Amino acid sequence: MPKLLLDSEIESGLNGLKGWRHKKDFITKTFEFDNFMEGIAFIDRIALVAEEQQHHPDIQVRYTSIKLSIQTHSEGGITKWDFDLASAIEKALLMSRN
């Protein structure tokens, strides 16, 4: 299992992830889409990424807003795995928009 990161390590990791925030024991980001179905298609794409990594975000859907919250549940906080998943999600989003 990966070790929990210190606040300074979390802040450093966030520097490379545009729009991601540290909230309590999670890193979070809200993604905005033009319509509901675009948001659902995004969830489908990130579900594949998450399943491949065997690390899954908490997902909140609010019409055209999708909020992801990531933590390593088994460790009760933020680890390197969470930044790996957030980076993979960002790459999947970029690929889908190109």
pTM over 0.75: yes
Q: Residues 84-98: what's their mean pLDDT?
A: 86
Quote the mean pLDDT of the chain. 95
Separation CA 20–CA 28 (nearest Å): 5
CATH C-level class of 7-97:
alpha beta
> What pLDDT score does 98 carry?
59
All residues at 6 or more sequence positions from 1 whose CB lies less than 8 Å from its CB, including other chains = 72, 74, 75, 79
Separation CA 60–CA 43 (nearest Å): 10
H/E segment holding residue 69: strand 65-70
Inter-residue contact 79 to 13 (CB < 8 Å)? no
